[in-house]
Amino acid sequence: MAKILAGIATSHVPAIGVAMDQRKTHEPYWQPVFRGFERSRQWISALQPDVAIVVYNDHATAFSLEVIPTFALGCAADFAPADEGWGRRPVPVVQGHPQLAWHMAQSLILDEFDLTIVNRMEVDHGLTVPLSLLFGQPQRWPCPVIPLCVNVVQYPPPTGNRCFELGKAIRKAVERFAADLRVVIFGTGGMSHQLQAQRAGLINSEFDKRFLDMLVQDPRGAATIPHIEYLREAGSEGIELVMWLVMRGALDERVREVHRHYHVPASNTAVGHLVLENMIV
């Protein structure tokens, strides 16, 4: 059967992708950011996953205020990088895994998660930046990817607990799939940041580091954090951290922390990163 071996949490700051595309990763400003992902690249290269499930939020690329799915699962055979206003990122087309994605859709919907099934979708920096951080800039991504979009842009977003429970349902779906696949799951976005209004540029390192600790040691506690606390402590875009809870819900209650990285700032935001393995891989 298929099995989720590990989870990756990482910010998906668009400027990180630009820095990689323009070969600025060794510049003094960017070097500390990318140094923190070197070990993770070695780790995932050794793991050699067969499929990656990437939980991210769309930034008005595939969806708009006309259609706002709370959860949208990409079931297509491929997903082209989107032009977000400055041209498409020079990264490979994302190859999907329709068989596993459709199996997940059936399992999750029968488990009473109302998914939007997407058969055609472009993917933006929310998905491609995490892939670049972990896999570099290859000619072809090393494994198929299943995109899972979560609405954290338009109120009301799903609660942390709902996202955590979705992760558990994803794990059950994956383990019901007959093929022998090694799966990793990404939770992306965050950490603390606010892009507008009086608190633009807000970063709360104390909250961020506490959230990292909770994600490892007390995920159920992290799942109870209410929307207003994310807003107050982590800024208006800090709500993206609920997507990390989807990833965490798909793992064992107790996990092994393989690597942690936290850096401030990167394009006026806090960058956080965790690699977590199930105890038996």
pLDDT, one tens digit per residue, over 206-225 is 999 999 999 999 999 999 99
Give the mean pLDDT of the chain.
Answer: 96
- Asked if 237 contacts 126 with a C-beta cutoff of 8 angstroms, the reply is no
What's the pLDDT score for residue 86? 86
Q: Which residues are catalytic?
A: 125, 193
**Number of folded domains that form the chain:** 1
Average pLDDT of the residues in 192-198? 91
pLDDT at 31 over 90: yes
**Tokens 């895994």 belong to which residue?**
97
Q: What is the pLDDT of residues 126-170, one digit of tens each?
A: 999 999 999 999 999 999 999 999 999 999 999 999 999 999 999
**DSSP character for 22?**
T
Which residue from 38, 56, 48 is spatially nearest to 6, judged by alpha carbons? 48
Q: Between helices 242-249 and 160-175, what is the axis angle to 10°? A: 30
pLDDT at 67 over 80: yes
**DSSP character for 230?**
H
Binning the chain into helix, strand and coil, the percentages to the nearest 5 are 35, 20, 40
For the whole prediction, is pTM greater than 0.75? yes
What's the domain range around 109? 3-278
For residue 107, what is the domain's CATH number? 3.40.830.10
pLDDT at 281 over 60: no
Which residue from 278, 281, 270, 249 is spatially nearest to 32, judged by alpha carbons? 270
**DSSP character for 26?**
T
